[in-house]
Amino acid sequence: MTSIEEQIEAALGRYRWQAPCIAEAGASGMNNTTRIVSSGEKKYVLRIYNNHGDADTVRFEHDMLKALTREKLDFQVPEPVPNKAGDSVTMLEDGKLACVFRYIEGVRPTPENSAHVSSLGAATGKLCKVLSGVKLDRMPQYSAYYELGQTYAAMDKPSFLGLANMSEYLREQAQQFGYLQNERETVLRACEDVAGLPRQWIHGDICFGNALSTGDRIAGILDFEFVTVDSRAMELAVLMVDLLKREIAAGSSEKLALVADAFLSIVELTAEERKLLPTLMKLRLLDVALHFALRFREGLDGPEVLSGIVDSSAYGCEWIAKHKPVY
């Protein structure tokens, strides 16, 4: 099995660098490995995909990024760099996919900074508005959130509940697994209504970890891996869910209102979209829980990862049920 460092070395060798390059660890998500690459005075980002080896899916992401570079945005999006063969996607010998992007200056915004909350809400609204006009010939590679039933058919009720028995780490969370399954069944019944909402291209994964800021301003939105056609209002719901965390519980209501106001000042949602926002938020939480349930069953993550996801997803659903937010 090829080590991460061997993958990085192999990937770097497939690109032309103006000067000897140095790769340093960067913030990586669960689905990829990231390194910051310095070559002379220039910096880049190397990403190696860990969750799939589908080059067409990555090329589709790059097509969207190329389309967005032609639009007027007051923040940056990743710009793919071609390899020696002129392709923006590099296939490594072990089957892993790698890409290089131009570096975007900035640091991760934080929910503790109200200016960041408002700015990210506005940036999400601006991106949503631009995406509504993007035309691509290719079909989306990822299913819509409201297709939760089909997407996670392999993780049915017995399979999901049974995960609690697969590890001592998870056994104490059997009640949370049961609660999430009940929420899943309720949300599935609402998915037909969700499917009837206005649809368009969405980023689908905007959160504080997928953005960059300079000062109080959002400077970049990253990771367009899961871009798809979905209910327009999901773009806001996904971001709002990122504010439902135990560590910021005291200010969640205020921050949710702040991010919603900023988004809604740019994108005017219908009354039905606003009404269904709490359902859309739960849909995101359940999608994340089921995604990581599959990853755990496939041996991609340890039980501690799924444990944290189950806890945060249950907390978010409980918060929504208790506060019944209206926007």
CATH 3.90.1200.10 occupies which residues in the chain? Answer: 114-323
Whether 267 contacts 277, CB under 8 Å: no
pLDDT tens, 205-217?
Answer: 999 999 999 999 9
The single-letter DSSP state of residue 107 is B
pLDDT of 248 over the 80 cut: no
> If you average pLDDT over every residue of the chain, what do you get?
93
Residue located via tokens 């953005």: 211
At 52, the pLDDT band (50, 70, 90 cuts) reads low
For the segment 136-177, what is each residue's pLDDT rounded down to a tens digit?
888 888 999 999 999 999 999 999 999 999 998 899 999 999
Q: Which of the four pLDDT bands, split at 50, 70 and 90, describes residue 300?
A: confident
Q: Is the C-alpha dihedral spanning 8, 82, 78, 137 positive or negative? A: negative
Give the integer Cα–Cα distance in Å for 323 and 320: 5
In the predicted structure, residue 242 carries a pLDDT above the cut 80: yes
Measure CA 112 to chain center. 20
Q: What's the confidence (pLDDT) of residue 54?
A: 83
pTM: 0.93
Least confident stretch, 6-10, 36-40, 201-205 = 6-10
Q: Packing angle between helix 252-264 and helix 234-241, nearest 10 degrees?
A: 150
* 3 state DSSP class of 75: coil
Give the CATH fold of the 114-323 domain: Aminoglycoside 3'-phosphotransferase; Chain: A, domain 2 (3.90.1200)
Q: How far is CA 141 from CA 42, 49, 58, 122, in A?
A: 32, 15, 9, 27
What span, in angstroms and rounded, lies between the C-alpha atoms of 209 and 206? Answer: 8
The label of the residue with tokens 């660098």 reads 17
Question: Which residue ranges does the chain devote to CATH 3.30.200.20?
Answer: 4-102
Stretch 284-290: mean pLDDT, rounded? 98
Name the CATH code of domain 4-102 (choices 3.30.200.20, 3.40.190.170, 2.40.50.140, 3.40.250.10). 3.30.200.20
Percent with pLDDT over 70 in the chain: 97
Contact 66, 173 (CB under 8 A): no
Nearest by Cα to 68 from 57, 78, 81: 78
